[in-house]
Amino acid sequence: MERPQKGKALDKEQKWLKKLEMLEETAKFYSRHKLVPEYKPRLTEPMPYWKEFYRQRQALDTATLDKEDVHVFAYEPDEYSSTPNTGKRRYVVTSYAQLWHNIQYLYKHNQPATFYEIIPEGAACKLYFDLEFQKEFNPELDGVAMVTDFVKLVCSKLDQVYNISCTQKNVIILDASTDKKFSNHLIFNLPGAVFKDNIHVGEYITYLAVKLSLKIHLKLIHNCILEPKCTAR
């Protein structure tokens, strides 16, 4: 039995309203997220190359097999995306030059985005650290001063172990702090030196952690000599 014309008309109207709602949401998204202009490299710069993946393994395989000088970066869609958020982390394969082109444009239009380079297993890499703490539970801590002291410690140990001289001028400090969390990402640009791979970086960080723990323990013992009531463990 054929449905009445009035029922069919209501169905069409509901479909149209739903489609209109989706178009309005898309329009709102693009009003907040400006489209990055086309990357037009100079003759000496890498060719345009931008491929996105949902799986890290696919991105790494693409970067490895491709002849272009490209790298893999991760980002959160709610921070940066050319399409409405799907809620999944994405991986981009592109060149440093094209990524920098995108980041500069977004920053100028108040759309700062954070990309994290994925270092392939076995690849040479720079020494890097992610330092963070919750402000709510550590109100007395001065994160900036702590990072300065930490850089001095790392540089002193690099000089002792590898005879590599460095200062804070050799360190890129990326601030990702929020109202709730202090967060700094440190990248050490050591003059003429990188680590063989992530495993060697991890071994050096373990060495640092042992030295730092020993230093803190000795300081506690020293304080206890001055203050008999305290207990060093």
pLDDT digits (tens, 9 = 90+) for 38-78: 888 888 888 999 999 999 999 999 999 887 889 999 988 76
Highest mean pLDDT among 28-42, 48-62, 104-118: 48-62
d(CA 71, CA 41): 17
* pLDDT of 202 over the 80 cut: yes
Q: For residue 67, what pLDDT is reported?
A: 78
Q: How confident is the model at residue 87 (pLDDT cuts 50, 70, 90)?
A: low
* pLDDT of 215 over the 80 cut: no
On whether the CB atoms of residues 113 and 81 are closer than 8 A, the answer is no
On whether the CB atoms of residues 195 and 124 are closer than 8 A, the answer is yes
**CA–CA distance from 25 to each of 2, 20, 30, 85 (Å)?**
35, 9, 9, 11
Q: Which amino acid is at 176?
A: A
Question: Do you know the residue count of the chain?
Answer: 233
Q: For residue 9, what pLDDT is reported?
A: 64
d(CA 148, CA 156): 13
Q: For residue 34, what pLDDT is reported?
A: 62
Q: Is 233 exposed, middle or buried (0-12, 13-18, 19+ CB in 10 A)?
A: exposed
Q: For residue 119, what pLDDT is reported?
A: 87
The residue with greater pLDDT, 103 or 110, is 103
Q: Chain-wide mean pLDDT for the chain?
A: 81
Q: DSSP label at 61?
A: H
Q: For residue 126, what pLDDT is reported?
A: 93
The SS3 of residue 91 is strand
